[in-house]
Amino acid sequence: MTITRLAAALVAIACVAAPASAQPHAGDFQLGAVAADHPLASEAGAQMLRLGGNAVDAAVATSFTLSVVRPQSCGIGGGGFMVIYLPDDPTHGRVLTAINYRETAPAGATPDMFETTELPDASTRSALAVAVPGTVAGLLYALDHYGTLDRATILRPAIDAGEAGFTADASYVQAARTTAKKLTPEQRTDRPALWETLLHEGQITEGDLVRNPQQAAALAAIAEHGRDGFYAGTVAEHILRACAAHGGIITAADLRDYQPAEIKPLLFTFDGKTILAMPPPSSGGVTLCEALGIAERLGYAGLGSPAPNPPAPGPDNTHLLVESLKHAFADRAEWLADPAFCAVPTDTLICAPYLTVRAATVDPAHTQPPASYGTRNGDTARALPEDSGTSHLSVIDQWGGAVACTETINLEFGSMIPAEGAGFCLNNEMDDFTTIRGQPNAFGLVQSDRNLPQPGKRPLSSMSPTIVLDAHGQVIAVAGASGGPRIITGTMQVLLNALVHDMPAADAVAAPRLHHQWMPDQVRLEPRLCAGGPDEATNAAALREALISRGHTLGAIDAVGVVQLITRDDSGLHAACDPRKGGRPAGH
Ligand code: GLY
């Protein structure tokens, strides 16, 4: 179906139709809060808030610190998205914007580059997998335009973390040990910044100190020279040398020319609230809003009726949730890509008539074959990777300003190719393109030809930084996640828990979750939903039975994303970091 036909069909449809919480992963604050997936990173942001900085200052300091303390997940070798809402900032007034600093295909990229190369694992573990990093340009753009503190202050905690080191926690050890096993003897020798500095030669254990003076020096160069400290000079030379040594095509001009893009966030109405979300090339905003809109029209948890919502997502609602996700992910596969390169029907996919027609096709008694969802068919099945290289942070400041920021290097430790001398791994974001037509990527996602690589194009992402406003325009929630496509399902369920089921932030984040991404056609349940029985708060046995009786195929999954949430109500700010990864919030 062409976009024109889709739009025409829609016209036709329209005509017819403070003190720390007792739980270590959570905290309550009065003025400002940061929830990141590492305690040192949350603390770096909170430090900026205490210095009088705003949410953008805090987000940028948090992100640079994550680059050091979560090198398996994100960092200056990757890219990201930031949604900013400052309703009443003393320096900038009212700001509503989004910054797209997604990594970009180099000038030498071609649509068939991964279909014709002889390199093994080319789109994930060769230097062809590396897209031009955007994090440094994006963070400095955000700081220059919407922050208030100087670069040296913002980068200080990150530089300190690189010099003094951080303590390896369970999440880091798991990622480092898994990655160490993947490296060949030759790779162990020629990648000391990864093998020795970050993986401790495969011997890392919890409590080890991980120092990274090379990255501290790279961050100091950024503090001193701004973007030229990364995209030119010594750090750029390290990046280019690493790419050239491993078959890559990134040039000095690719680095020099990289630019972040400022765009208008998606605005979507859900249950009387306004969702601010990231537009394409993130698929996160469109897919999240489409799924929420369909769920609302299906009467999920009593939405749309005057009756109060049930306290927890009950078994019968779970089918409605899954069906909403199947439609939204089917449309993701067909329609979404970088809008700078092809027409993407963003507004159409989340407009009321389209959501109503999608909801009308849902059978409350039974799930349907994949071809019934969205606008196309496909066929694949592939296991999800153990983890993913992404990290989300949420911030609220004392003026009610908020930042939702998600960043990634794609898979754990990205391409596993470090910029030797600069202490960080280069991303493997090229795998988020359609690399081999008709075949799934590392996350089992089959995507359309719209998402083929082209010079300067940004690969489709699932990152879903999201801010929610009440009817008066006040921020009531900031959320987002890591986990590839599970970002979308994880963020959606945590928001439903907090906003619809009235769960406290700590419980909303900790509650077990499920995942469905349309293809493979399977509902994947976290361990507590697989094994839990009638005693579980969520009544896992009844939930499984409700899904099976409606024809769903069930599967298991370790974790449906890692979500960081801050909510705000009359009593203050409630921040929760996902216990699945070990973060801890900070604030004042
Ligand atoms: N690299 C994961 C994503 O952007 O969706």
Model pLDDT for residues 229-261, shown as the tens digit of each residue: 999 999 999 999 999 999 999 999 999 999 999
Atom of ligand 1 lying closest to residue 284 CA: 5
Tell me how far apart the alpha carbons of residues 408 and 157 are, in angstroms, rounded to a whole number: 20
- Give pLDDT, residue 125: 94
Atom of ligand 1 lying closest to residue 283 CA: 5
At residue 380's C-alpha, the angle toward residues 375 and 383, to 5°, is 125
Tell me how far apart the alpha carbons of residues 275 and 480 are, in angstroms, rounded to a whole number: 12
* Pocket flag, ligand 1, residue 287 (CB < 6 Å): no
The confidence band for 308, taking pLDDT boundaries of 50, 70 and 90, is: low
- Give pLDDT, residue 3: 45
Decide: 194 and 125 in contact? Cβ < 8 Å.
no
Q: From ligand 1's centre to the CA of 212, what distance in Å? A: 25
- Nearest Cα to Cα of residue 352 among 390, 416, 296: 296
The confidence band for 11, taking pLDDT boundaries of 50, 70 and 90, is: very low
Q: From ligand 1's centre to the CA of 72, what distance in Å? A: 14
- Give pLDDT, residue 264: 98
Could you give the percent of the chain with pLDDT greater than 70? Answer: 91
Q: From ligand 1's centre to the CA of 355, what distance in Å? A: 25
- Name which of 229-238, 472-481, 541-550 the model is least confident about: 541-550
Mean pLDDT over 22-27 rounds to 88
* Pocket flag, ligand 1, residue 529 (CB < 6 Å): no
Mean pLDDT over 364-381 rounds to 73
Q: Report CA dihedral (29, 401, 280, 108) to the nearest 10 degrees.
A: -90
- Give pLDDT, residue 305: 77
pLDDT at 17 over 90: no
* Pocket flag, ligand 1, residue 462 (CB < 6 Å): yes
Question: What are the tens digits of pLDDT across the range 482-496?
Answer: 999 999 999 999 999
Which segments within 455-560 are labelled E, that is strand?
A: 466-469, 475-482, 514-515, 523-525, 554-556
Q: Is the peptide bond before 279 cis (omega within 30 degrees of 0)?
A: no
Residue 464, class by beta-carbon neighbours within 10 Å (0-12 exposed, 13-18 middle, 19+ buried)?
buried
Tell me how far apart the alpha carbons of residues 209 and 226 are, in angstroms, rounded to a whole number: 29
DSSP H helical segments within 78-195, as ranges?
Answer: 113-116, 122-125, 135-146, 151-164, 170-182, 185-190, 192
* Pocket flag, ligand 1, residue 488 (CB < 6 Å): no
Tell me how far apart the alpha carbons of residues 241 and 256 are, in angstroms, rounded to a whole number: 15
- Give pLDDT, residue 22: 67
Q: How many CB atoms lie within 10 A of CB 511?
A: 20
For residues 379 and 62, the model is more confident at: 62
- Give pLDDT, residue 314: 73
- Give pLDDT, residue 382: 32
Contacts of 226 (CB under 8 A, 6+ apart): 140, 151
Counting ligand 1 atoms within 8 A of each CB, the residue from 130, 388, 491 with the most, and so the one to mutate, is 388
Quick check: is 390 catalytic? yes
Q: Is the dihedral of CA 569, 570, 575, 576 positive or negative?
A: negative
DSSP H helical segments within 384-518, as ranges?
Answer: 486-495, 505-510
Counting ligand 1 atoms within 8 A of each CB, the residue from 405, 462, 489, 517 with the most, and so the one to mutate, is 462
- Give pLDDT, residue 6: 44
Decide: 74 and 409 in contact? Cβ < 8 Å.
yes
Question: What are the tens digits of pLDDT across the range 348-361?
Answer: 999 999 999 999 99
Question: What are the tens digits of pLDDT across the range 280-298?
Answer: 999 999 999 999 999 999 9
**What does the block give as tokens for 439?**
């075949």
Strands 26-29 and 475-482: unpaired
Residue 316, class by beta-carbon neighbours within 10 Å (0-12 exposed, 13-18 middle, 19+ buried)?
middle
Tell me how far apart the alpha carbons of residues 53 and 70 are, in angstroms, rounded to a whole number: 23
Counting ligand 1 atoms within 8 A of each CB, the residue from 432, 435, 489 with the most, and so the one to mutate, is 432
- Give pLDDT, residue 533: 65
Tell me how far apart the alpha carbons of residues 438 and 448 are, in angstroms, rounded to a whole number: 8
* Pocket flag, ligand 1, residue 432 (CB < 6 Å): yes
The confidence band for 389, taking pLDDT boundaries of 50, 70 and 90, is: confident
- Nearest Cα to Cα of residue 461 among 579, 332, 303, 316: 332
- Give pLDDT, residue 513: 95
Whole-angstrom CA distances from 306 to 299, 301, 473, 569 are 11, 11, 23, 22
Q: Residue 97: phi, psi to the nearest 5?
A: -155, 170
Strands 562-569 and 475-482: antiparallel
The confidence band for 309, taking pLDDT boundaries of 50, 70 and 90, is: low
Tell me how far apart the alpha carbons of residues 203 and 177 are, in angstroms, rounded to a whole number: 8
Counting ligand 1 atoms within 8 A of each CB, the residue from 123, 410, 427, 517 with the most, and so the one to mutate, is 410
Whole-angstrom Cα Rg for the chain: 22
**What does the block give as tokens for 475?**
């921020």
Tell me how far apart the alpha carbons of residues 226 and 28 are, in angstroms, rounded to a whole number: 35
Q: How many CB atoms lie within 10 A of CB 569?
A: 12
Q: Among 62, 390, 434, 538, which one carries the catalytic annotation?
A: 390
Q: Whose CA is nearest to atom 1 of ligand 1?
A: 410
pLDDT at 191 over 80: yes
**What does the block give as tokens for 173?**
């050890």
Tell me how far apart the alpha carbons of residues 53 and 540 are, in angstroms, rounded to a whole number: 44
Does the pTM of the predicted model rise above 0.85?
Answer: yes
Q: Whose CA is nearest to atom 4 of ligand 1?
A: 461
Decide: 482 and 70 in contact? Cβ < 8 Å.
no
Instruction: Name the 3-class secondary structure at 210.
Output: strand
Residue 228, class by beta-carbon neighbours within 10 Å (0-12 exposed, 13-18 middle, 19+ buried)?
middle
Average pLDDT over the chain reads 92
Q: From ligand 1's centre to the CA of 406, what distance in Å? A: 9
Q: Residue 410: phi, psi to the nearest 5?
A: 80, -100
Atom of ligand 1 lying closest to residue 409 CA: 1
* Pocket flag, ligand 1, residue 484 (CB < 6 Å): yes
